[in-house]
Each structure stands twice: as structure tokens, then as C-alpha cells.
Amino acid sequence: MSNEIYKLFNQSFDSLEAFADTISEHLKCPVTIEDANHHLLAYSSHDDETDQARVSTIIGRRVPERVINRFWKDGVIPKLNHSDEPLVIPTIDEIGLRNRVAISIRKNEEVLGYIWVVDVNGTLTTEHLDLLKLAAQKARNQLLQLNLQNKKKERNEQEFLWQMITGDVVNHDSIEKELVRIGLKKGQPVAILVFSFKQMSKELYNQLTYISKTTQKMKILIHTLDENHWITLVAPKNSTTFIEETEQFIQSFCEQIKERFETRVEAVGCGYPKETFPIISESYNEANAVLRLKKLFPRELETVHFYHELGAFRYIDLLKRTPELQKLTSNPALEKLAAYDKDNQTNLMETLETVLDYEDRLTEAAKKLHCHINTLNYRLKRIKEITMIDIKDPVQKIGLYFDIKLFRKSV
């Protein structure tokens, strides 16, 4: 590579746009520069020799999610994230992508961003790729400075989120003004979603941040951590379709974190959208209530995300948190059945709970208990003899369901 090229990239640039134009001028190809979360930082001018993926990126100021998903599926982004070498990417017509060459901008193992070159005619040579490596090294310091600014901004936003969910800020207009600055549309509601993980690490937090910045299924305004809980403030597109929108987002999020990073979400709790911002703490409390009960009853509430989906467990939660009511919920019949199980090495309590869980679907209950339907009927007859419980009586049945859930968590 000539000394002129080295001198060219050793000069100071007024902006990343000027830097992108310089790369483009020497490669004779359109160039874009992105941050680590695929948000557009700069792009060179271009003629008709470009592609739809680049046009969409420039218009939306970030790479379309369908393009990111395809790059993960094809292994493009993992390769870029673990190498300092340029990567040649052949045409992918389904996402409007023509021949590309890309390189990551890195400091040690941390990816700061990417340089993308549209190589429409496949004219880039080895010397051009060496120039691209030099450009990535030159861009490192500029993106480091930008990264520091973004981290400071993120810390300030996280502090603001905690002020909201703890009720330290109570003026609607001042909260809305700050949220609009962050990216909320005026008049748009906000809600809290909380994702629970088995354990949290810096690497996992970075992965969560990456997904939050690249997803386009739901707008995540702010996110922060509370031990192993990832708390997000989201802006739904529409309050009336919030539940459907959120369910789609959760499914996509859980799939991405599993497929890309081999991490599993333990549980998700969702609060409802609030148009009055000083009461956003209510949304946080709703999400936390779901997580608290899912932890106590993981089997029964495995697929639950919203408070209204808890059903009878909403009242079980109330009973558990009210000592005066707990005194009224002791059930001698259950205590007698538990004592019989202990003395006779049986599992009649489990049988009773399973039958209540499956209501009148005895065949499914028998399958769950790994026994024949006749065996199940015999056990139910024995339970009635021991306890005088009549599970066909709807009043007894409803009360028994509450009692057995409370009893199981108190023994």
C-alpha cells in the first residue's frame, strides 16, 4: 500500500461522513459506518450502484431487522465479531443485498462498530481490503469517544428510569419531556417489562443491550438491571393491541437470545401501559407481581406474562400476603391427607392437586400422574374416604384449589 494512502488515513477528519467519503473515494464503492448495534453513524454519497438494504438503512437510520436476522442465521455477524479481517458477503436477493465486504471496528475483544462496502461489481482487490483494515483501525478512536458518550447517556437514562419506578419524579410534563427526548412520541403510553435470568453477567447484559437496540418489534426506550432482572421501559404502538404486540416481542426476544447467545430467559413479567407517567410504578409492580408468583408456581404459571392471566393466583397472592386471611385458610382435610401420605408413603396429595389442575379431564390427569384411569378413580375414592372431600361440589372444589396451593407453599 502506498505511503499516500497511509498519510491520507493519518490525517484528522472533521466528521465520520468525511471519513466515509474518503474510504468510498478510494474503493470506488458506497460505504456505510454503523455502531455495534447496527445504528447508522455515517454514509458516503452514492450513485445508482447501491442496493435496497443500504437504502433502507439510510432511510431508517439503522439496519432493517430482517437483514440483521439473516446475517445472524448465515453466521455473518458472529464471524465479524471475532475477527479483524474483512469479510466478503455474496449477494442475498431475499433481503435486497448485493455483494458486500464488511469489517468490524474493534478494541481488543470489544466490537465498537462496522464498516460496510457495497461491492456491486466485485472489483475490490487484496490491496483494497488492506485499505479497509487500515480504515477500521483509524475509526477505532472516533468510535471509542462515541461509545463513552453513549455509556454516559445510558447511565443518566437508567437513573431516570429508577426515579420513575420508585416514584421519585411525579410531574407528568417533566417526565414526558425527558421521554420524548429519549425517543417517545408525544401522547404515547409506556409500560414496564421485566425479564428474569438465572444469573446475570456483563457479557449477558451487553447481549441484552444489543437485542434491545436492534429489535424493531417493540420500541425499548430505557433498560436497566436489578440483580438478575432486566427491566425495560417500552413504548407500545397501540394500547389496544399491547398484549398481542408484547407476546410477539417476547417470543422473538426469547428465540434470539437462545439462538444467538445460547441463553435462556427464566421468566417474563409484563405491566400494563400507562398514559399518566407518574403512575408508571404501577406497571413495574404489576410485572413484579407476575414474576413473584411464577417463581412460587412455575408449573401452573409457565406461560403467563400478564397479571390478568394469573387468574385465581391473583387471590392466592392476596391471601399469602395477608396474615389475618392466612389464619382462616387452614384446611384440616388437607392436613389429614398430608399426614396419611407421610405415614403410608403415598402421593394422594399430589393426585388431588393434579386432578384440580386438570378440572374434569381425568384422562389427562392420569397421564400426568403416569397411572391408569382406573387407578386414578381408586385414589379419588380413597381421598374422599380419608378427608370427606367431595370434589364434585363446585363450592368445595374452588375453595380446595385455593387451599391446596397455599398449603403446598407453606409446608
Cα–Cα distance for residue pair 349/153, rounded to 1 Å: 55
Average pLDDT, the chain: 88
Name the residue ranges covered by the structural domains of the chain. 3-147, 166-311, 323-410
Cα–Cα distance for residue pair 329/339, rounded to 1 Å: 18
Cα–Cα distance for residue pair 153/213, rounded to 1 Å: 14
Q: How confident is the model at residue 184 (pLDDT cuts 50, 70, 90)?
A: very high
For range 256-276, the mean pLDDT: 94
Instruction: Please report the pLDDT score of residue 358 as a whole number.
Output: 85
For range 322-336, the mean pLDDT: 69
Three cell numbers, residue 67 = 437483514
State CA 360 to chain mean position distance: 37
Among the CATH numbers 3.40.640.10, 3.40.47.10, 3.90.226.10, 3.30.450.40, which is that of 3-147?
3.30.450.40
What is the DSSP track for 213-255? Answer: HH--SSEEEEEEEETTEEEEEEE-S-GGGHHHHHHHHHHHHHH
Kindly tell me if the per-residue pLDDT of 2 is higher than 60: no
Q: Percent of the chain scored above 70 by pLDDT?
A: 93
Return the SS3 of 116: strand
Kindly tell me if the per-residue pLDDT of 102 is higher than 80: yes
- Is there a contact between 50 and 72 (Cβ–Cβ < 8 Å)? no
CA atoms within 13 A on the CB side of 406: 26
Give the CATH number of domain 323-410: 1.10.10.2840
Task: Give helix 373-387 / helix 332-344 axis angle, nearest 10°.
Answer: 120
- Is there a contact between 292 and 317 (Cβ–Cβ < 8 Å)? yes
Instruction: Please report the pLDDT score of residue 8 as a whole number.
Output: 66
Q: Which amino acid is at 292?
A: R
Instruction: Please report the pLDDT score of residue 411 as a whole number.
Output: 45
Q: Is the CATH code 3.30.450 the one for domain 166-311? A: no
Global confidence as pTM: 0.78
- Kindly report, residue by residue over 41-51, the tens digit of the pLDDT: 999 986 667 88
Cα–Cα distance for residue pair 73/197, rounded to 1 Å: 24
Cα–Cα distance for residue pair 142/44, rounded to 1 Å: 17
Q: How confident is the model at residue 6 (pLDDT cuts 50, 70, 90)?
A: low
What are the C-alpha distances in Å from 182 to residues 93, 220, 223?
A: 35, 10, 12
Which residues are 107's β-sheet partners? Answer: 110
Instruction: Please report the pLDDT score of residue 403 as a whole number.
Output: 82
- Kindly report, residue by residue over 132-160, the tens digit of the pLDDT: 999 999 899 889 989 888 889 999 999 99
- Is there a contact between 214 and 71 (Cβ–Cβ < 8 Å)? no
- The helix/strand count (H/E) of the chain reads as 17, 9
Instruction: Please report the pLDDT score of residue 396 as a whole number.
Output: 76
Kindly tell me if the per-residue pLDDT of 5 is higher than 70: no
